[in-house]
Amino acid sequence: MTTTAPAGSAPQAPARRTDAHRNAVRPRLRFGGVLRSEGIKLSSLRSIRWTLIATVVAGLGLSLLISWGLKSTAGMEGAPTIPPETYALSSATIAAPFIALVFGVLGVFAISSEYSSGMILSTLTAVPKRTPVFLAKAIVLGIIAVVTAAILVIGGLLIALLFNSEVGSVIFSKAVVSGGAGAIAYLTLIALLAFGVAALFRSTAGGIAVIAGLTFVLPLGLQIASMTGWEWVSTVSHYIPFSLGNTMSAGIAEATVPGATGPDYWGAMLVMLAWALVAVIPAGILFRTRDAK
């Protein structure tokens, strides 16, 4: 038997959902999902794809030229014999300091493209907690940079092997392995440094200008300043990214080089890490606190 409400009485409001029911219906946001989202966004950007293509072409092209040049020099009468390890490292890693700017551009695009397009507002609406967004962007960028740099190093070694069969006997030597790892670490840290700078400036042009200044203009300026004879110029020049990249790409030396100055392999690695952290940490703090635009 059904009952009806008395005439003139107000209709009853539907029962409210309990907090437990609302939490069960609402999808839970996990860091893995944020990471996948950032990976999809970065891989779908045309600027990122073209930058990666340019990086691989430029890096392998330099390795080819270096290997060909060393092979031609070795064939000349009276030319000194080039050790296989030097041949391998030259082909695989010597291009790293010169293509660092391309990795810097990759790091800038990883975050500045969202600010220029306005997509950052949608991103932060979907993920209100900003720290996971910033970390996910940095991690995805780091993975892309490591993979790209590894392709360049391995490709450079294969090119060196094509020109000199003796390279095969030293590919897994301490110097070659550490030099390849150093080049990969250097290029990855340059990308993260650029990422931090671009996050601070929130500008593509500003980020690229700063990275270009650090990787190319600063070494030239210090080289010119060294003509003055000031001691501090020589000291500072050992701790800029360009010099650190050369040290890391040279690998762990079997013996101490007489008269060598500046940080060694591991020291250069730590200083380069400090360069990246000096930009990334303040950028992460400001990313959390200031307005999205």
Q: pLDDT tens digits for 95-128?
A: 888 889 999 999 999 898 888 777 888 888 888 7
Please provide the distance, in angstroms rounded to a whole number, between the alpha carbons at the two ends of the chain: 62
Residue with tokens 């390279």: 167
Cα 152 to Cα 44, 64, 173, 189, 251: the distances in Å are: 22, 11, 18, 16, 16
For 125, the domain range is 30-289
Q: Indicate the angle between helix axes 218-225 and 241-249, nearest 10 degrees.
A: 100
Residue 264 belongs to some domain of the structure: yes
Tell me if 96 sits within 8 A of 245, measured CB to CB: yes
Which tokens belong to 104? 């810097």
Q: Which whole-number Å values give the CA distances from 10 to 13, 14, 16, 17, 123, in the listed order?
A: 9, 12, 17, 21, 44
pLDDT tens-place values along the chain, 293 residues long: 445 555 555 455 454 555 444 444 445 678 888 888 888 888 888 878 888 888 899 889 999 998 888 888 766 655 567 788 888 998 899 888 888 999 999 999 989 888 877 788 888 888 878 888 999 999 999 999 999 999 999 999 999 999 888 888 888 999 999 999 999 999 999 999 999 999 999 888 899 999 999 998 999 999 898 888 788 888 899 999 999 999 999 888 754 555 567 899 999 999 999 999 999 999 999 998 887 66
Residue 12 domain-assigned (yes or no):
no
* Residues 218, 240: Cα–Cα separation, whole Å: 8
Model confidence, pTM: 0.85
Write phi, then psi, for 185 (nearest 5 degrees): -65, -40
User: 122-125: long-range contacts (C-beta < 8 A, 24 or more apart)?
Assistant: 124/292
- Pair 109, 191: CB distance under 8 Å: no
SS (H, E, C) 95-117: CCCCCHHHHHHHHHHHHHHHHHH
Tokens 């009485």: give the residue. 9
Q: Does 24 fall in a domain?
A: no
pLDDT, tens only, 62-82: 999 988 888 887 666 555 677
Q: Does residue 13 form part of some domain?
A: no
In a domain, 77, yes or no: yes
The answer to whether position 6 is within a domain reads no
Tell me how far apart the alpha carbons of residues 69 and 260 are, in angstroms, rounded to a whole number. 27
CA 161 to chain CA centroid, Å, is 27
Q: 8 vs 3, 12, 14, 276, 278, CA distance in Å?
A: 15, 12, 18, 72, 71
Q: Are 183 and 241 in contact (CB under 8 A)?
A: no
Inside any domain, residue 271: yes
| Alpha carbons 263 and 272: distance in angstroms, whole number | 11
Q: Do residues 174 and 252 lie in contact, with contact meaning Cβ atoms separated by under 8 Å?
A: yes
Cβ–Cβ under 8 Å, residues 202 and 286: no
CA geometry: angle 60, 166, 158, nearest 5 deg:
20
Question: CA 120, CA 105: separation in Å to the nearest integer?
Answer: 19
How many Cβ atoms are within 10 Å of 177's Cβ, its own excluded? 14
Domain count, the chain: 1
Does the residue 152 lie in any domain?
yes
DSSP 6: P
